[in-house]
Amino acid sequence: MEFNQAFIYGCSAIGAGLAVIAGIGPGVGQGIAAGHGAAAVGRNPGARGEIMSTMLLGQAVAETTGLYGLLVAMLLMFVKPFKG
């Protein structure tokens, strides 16, 4: 079956939009990490620096899955693998 370019690009744009829904997961995860970090600082304000760096490291690792979604969206938008 033949599709024209506009149709393929439109579908790619919709797919890119769907791919960045992956951002929900890391958002929730980083929020939970930040919440627990805040609770930990409240319980032990002396360990603030340690908690901060551990939290940021964990959050940056958790961000990876969201970035995969972003990467797929970028590939669909700019590299256009399905341009036919």
Partner 1 sequence: MTYGLLLSADSVDFMVHGIFSYSFFGHEVWITTTHVSILMVMLILTVFAIIAGKKFKAATETGEMVPGPFQNAVELLLEFLSNTVTGAMGKGAPKFNNYISTLFLFILLSNISGLLGLRPPTADYGVTFPLALITFAIIHYSEIRFSKPLDLWKDKCSPLPPWLPIWLPINLISDLAVPVSLSLRLFANVLSGTVMMALIYGLLRWIAIGWPAALHVYFDLFSGAIQTYVFCMLTMTYISSARGDAN
User: Which listed residue (3, 24, 47, 68) binds partner 1 by CB under 8 A?
Assistant: 68
According to DSSP, residue 84 is labeled: -
DSSP labels for 29-46? HHHHHHHHHHHHHHH-GG
User: Is there binding between residue 6 and partner 1 (CB under 8 A)?
Assistant: yes
9: its two tokens:
């690009």
User: Which listed residue (12, 19, 51, 55) binds partner 1 by CB under 8 A?
Assistant: 12
What H or E segment, with its residue span, contains residue 73? helix 48-74
Residues at the contact surface with partner 1, assessed by CB under 8 A: 5-6, 9, 12-13, 53, 56-57, 60-61, 63-64, 67-68, 70-71, 74, 77-78
